[in-house]
Amino acid sequence: MIDRDQVLHVAKLARLQLSDEEVDRMAGELSKILEHVETMNELDLEEVEPTSHVVDLTNVLRDDVPRPSLPREVALEQAPDATESGFRVPTPGAS
């Protein structure tokens, strides 16, 4: 079971604001979903290696050749608030 405090803790980790009502609903929904997820524990997985990648690939490397990247003005074009040289944001604050 996930309680209100856990929902609030996870929401903080995820940088997600939730209203009071949303916190309550989320607690119920997450509990139900996790209950289903936990049916995984019926399996005996003692000797099983976790999947790290589905296709047999190791260390795909390429030559380190410089190529042009996005011009700064193009990278800044879609920003809701930008200066000539960067993204503008409020003070990071204390939290």
Partner 1 sequence: MSDELLSLTAAEQARRIESGEVSAAEAFDYWRGRAASDDLGAYLWVADEAPGDAGSFPPIAVKDLFCVKGVPSMAGSRILEGYRPPYTATSVENLQNAGIQVLGKTNQDEFAMGSSNENSGFGPVQNPWDRTRVPGGSSGGSAAAVAAGTAPWAIGTDTGGSIRQPASLCGIVGMKPTYGAVSRYGMIAFASSLDQCGPLTRDVTDAAILLSHLQGRDPCDSTSLGIEGGVALPTAERLDGLRFGIWGMEEPGLEPGVAEQVRATLAKIEELGGSVEPIELPNAGHGIAAYYVIAPAEASANLARYDGVRYGPRAAANGDLTALYEETRHDGFGEEVRRRIMIGTYALSSGYYEAYYGTAQKVRTRIAQDFAAAFEKVDFVVSPTSATVAFKLGERTQDPLAMYLSDYYTVPMPLAGIPAISIPCGLSEGLPVGFQIAGPAFSEARILDAAHALEKEIAFDGVPVR
- The footprint of partner 1 (CB under 8 A) covers 2, 6-7, 9-11, 13-18, 22, 26, 29-30, 32-34, 36-43, 45, 48-55, 57, 60, 62, 70, 74-75, 77-81, 87, 89-95
What is the Cα–Cα distance from 39 to 41, expressed in whole angstroms? 5
Closest CA to 30 of 14, 44, 43, 42: 14
Residue 50 Cβ vs partner 1, minimum distance, rounded to whole Å: 4
- Kindly state the tokens that stand for 72: 């700064």
Residue 49 Cβ vs partner 1, minimum distance, rounded to whole Å: 6
Q: At what angle do helices 20-37 and 4-13 cross, to 10 degrees?
A: 90
What is the Cα–Cα distance from 68 to 22, expressed in whole angstroms? 45
Residue 94 Cβ vs partner 1, minimum distance, rounded to whole Å: 7
